[in-house]
């Protein structure tokens, strides 16, 4: 056995970077899995012979499972830590995709519905877990990183959408496509999760377990609820595109399924760009100003998408829509996790409020779409984006970090004094 002596600063940096890289993979895997489903919704609709309303209830299954996962994730993380919860959640999502694939193969709506519930359960649980782990990593690194994590989610979504376009073009059955996507999800996540430190988010002697009263008190905190409402508005804008954009452009502009999937790809590309470069804007102008500007861009994009004269102008609107929506979720999750001790409970609460959009949004847009068309149903999305911009000040960083915090906040990087520590191997 040899002993390597390095500074604590070097040790922390290496560990934090490995942890960061693991989070890149986890966020990308979630986006990839969701896009695998979304990109094939037109084919699933045709295979099942489903109406727009019927598809709304199928998508409702994802949201229903996700809401249960969002509510329960905080307690699970507090007891077991984020790492095992992320692993089990993504394996659950993979199982859900396999069940959906089986349902699509036999054209069974009940089987597809059941698979989407399981998929949503895994997806929702992972959403809270990866944001808690990502926020803790952000504190450890001492700089804004959360939008980049969500950019990796968008890159994963883009990859999944691109494979969906290719599968549609080649005529690959939905069952085969989703089955392969589930295998890729497992192969990517299992090794990556091992790089997340054990115990992240778990209660400890220095970070005692939240009592039931403390967890309930989180739901009465105005800042947390307003952050959740902001996430709801911006998340609804993102979710509406993920759930309905391919179908809305196919029905509203008369484009082919392949073009509809490609237009969804434009949304994902601009969202990814916004998240990658949004870090610079947040560091320069702050959360509130950046969020307000983002909401304005998203609103303009939605107006052009909804009321534009052609698919070409719609493409421009979709690009602005994706760019403007890009920072809502990551900044909201980061803001909810400002206090490390209550991070899992607050992220769970804010995400649950925000993801109500995913629960009620799909059937609501479906019913509205039955009356005015899917494209014009996006007016409801526009209204919530405007609301999100108005309440953006709720995301302002906490003035004083919690004493229970286990690390620096994103706005106040820690100054780690070099210390020589032995690492054996």
pLDDT the model gives residue 423 = 33
More confident residue, 381 or 64: 381
75 neighbors 215 (Cβ within 8 angstroms): yes
The pLDDT value recorded for residue 399 is 64
Average pLDDT over residues 213-234: 86
Instruction: Using pLDDT thresholds of 50, 70 and 90, give the confidence band for residue 346.
Output: confident
Is residue 124's pLDDT more than 80?
Answer: yes
**10-28 average pLDDT score:** 80
Read off the pTM: 0.74
Identify the structural domains of the chain with CATH numbers, from first to last. 8-200+219-398 (1.20.1250.20)
Question: Beta partners for 422?
Answer: 5
Percent of the chain scored above 90 by pLDDT? 30
pLDDT band at 419; cut points 50, 70, 90: very low
Q: Which residue has tokens 């989180």? A: 218
| Portion of the chain with pLDDT greater than 70, in percent | 86
Give the tokens for residue 118. 């399981």
Beta-ladder partners of 421:
6
Residue 206 has pLDDT above 70, yes or no: no
Contact 127, 27 (CB under 8 A): no
What is residue 415's predicted lDDT score, i.e. its pLDDT?
Answer: 36
How far apart are the C-alpha atoms of 102 and 104, rounded to whole Å? 5
Going from the C-alpha of 407 to that of each of 52, 86, 223, 404, 416, the distances in angstroms are 48, 21, 21, 9, 10
pLDDT-derived band at 10, boundaries 50, 70, 90: very low
> pLDDT (tens digit, 9 = 90+) per residue, 62-72?
878 888 888 88
Structure tokens, 186: 């497992």
Q: Alpha carbon 129 to chain centroid distance?
A: 11
Q: How far is CA 223 from the centre of its chain?
A: 21
Predicted confidence at residue 100, as pLDDT, reads: 92
The vertex-395 CA angle with 365 and 241, nearest 5°, equals: 25
pLDDT above 60 for 295: yes
pLDDT at residue 177, rounded to an integer: 92
Q: What is the mean pLDDT of residues 158-162?
A: 85
Tokens of 114: 């059941």
Q: Which helix (H) or strand (E) holds 117?
A: helix 109-141
The pLDDT of residue 118: 95
Confidence of residue 358 (pLDDT cuts 50, 70, 90): low
Backbone region of residue 362 per phi and psi (left: phi > 0; alpha: psi in -120 to 50; beta: other values): alpha
- Output 99-107 pairs: Cβ under 8 A, ≥24 positions apart: 100/37, 100/178, 101/174, 101/175, 101/176, 101/177, 101/178, 101/179, 101/182, 102/175, 104/40, 104/44, 104/47, 104/48, 104/173, 104/174, 104/175, 104/178, 105/173, 105/174, 105/175, 107/47, 107/48, 107/49
Bigger pLDDT: 390 vs 67: 390
Q: How far apart are the first and last CA of the chain?
A: 6
pLDDT recorded at residue 61: 85
Over range 390-406, report the average pLDDT. Answer: 68
CA distances from 94 to 70, 181, 186, 194, 351 (A): 17, 8, 7, 18, 22
* Dist. CA 411–CA 399, nearest whole Å: 10
Q: State the chain's mean pLDDT as an integer.
A: 82
pLDDT of residue 294: 95
């Amino acid at each position: 056995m040899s002993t390597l002596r390095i500074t604590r600063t070097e040790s922390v940096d290496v560990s934090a970077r490995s942890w960061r890289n693991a989070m890149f993979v986890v966020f990308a895997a979630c986006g990839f899995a969701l896009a695998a489903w979304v990109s094939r919704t037109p084919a699933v609709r045709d295979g099942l012979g489903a109406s727009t309303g019927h598809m709304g209830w199928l998508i409702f299954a994802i949201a229903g499972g996700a809401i249960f996962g969002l509510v329960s994730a905080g307690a699970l993380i507090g007891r077991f830590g984020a790492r095992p919860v992320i692993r089990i959640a993504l394996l659950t999502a993979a199982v859900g995709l396999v069940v959906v694939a089986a349902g699509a193969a036999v054209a069974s709506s009940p089987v597809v519905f059941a698979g989407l519930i399981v998929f949503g359960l895994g997806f929702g649980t992972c959403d809270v877990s990866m944001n808690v782990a990502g926020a803790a990593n952000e504190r450890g690194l001492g700089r804004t990183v959360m939008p980049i994590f969500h950019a990796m989610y968008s890159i994963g979504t883009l990859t999944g959408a691109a494979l969906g376009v290719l599968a549609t073009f080649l005529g690959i059955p939905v069952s085969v496509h989703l089955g392969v996507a589930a295998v890729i999800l497992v192969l990517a996540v299992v090794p990556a999760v091992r790089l997340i430190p054990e115990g992240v988010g778990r209660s400890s002697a220095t970070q005692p377990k939240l009592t039931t009263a403390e967890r309930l008190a989180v739901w009465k905190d105005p800042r947390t609820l307003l952050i959740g409402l902001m996430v709801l508005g911006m998340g609804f804008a993102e979710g509406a595109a993920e759930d309905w954009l391919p179908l809305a452009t196919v029905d509203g502009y008369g484009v082919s399924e392949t073009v509809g999937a490609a237009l969804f790809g434009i949304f994902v590309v601009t969202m990814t760009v916004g998240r990658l470069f949004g870090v610079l804007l947040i560091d320069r102008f702050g959360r509130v100003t950046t969020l307000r500007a983002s909401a304005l861009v998203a609103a303009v994009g939605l107006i052009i998408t909804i009321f534009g004269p052609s698919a070409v102008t719609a493409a421009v609107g979709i690009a602005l829509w994706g760019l403007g929506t890009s920072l809502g979720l990551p900044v909201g999750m980061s803001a909810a996790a400002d206090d490390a001790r209550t991070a899992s409970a607050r992220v769970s609460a804010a995400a649950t409020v925000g993801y109500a959009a995913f629960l009620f949004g799909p059937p609501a847009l479906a019913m509205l779409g039955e009356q005015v068309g899917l494209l014009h149903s996006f007016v409801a999305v526009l209204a919530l984006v405007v609301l999100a911009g108005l309440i953006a000040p709720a995301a302002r960083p906490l003035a004083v970090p919690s004493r229970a915090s286990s690390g620096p906040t994103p706005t106040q990087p820690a100054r780690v004094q070099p210390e020589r520590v032995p690492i054996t191997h």
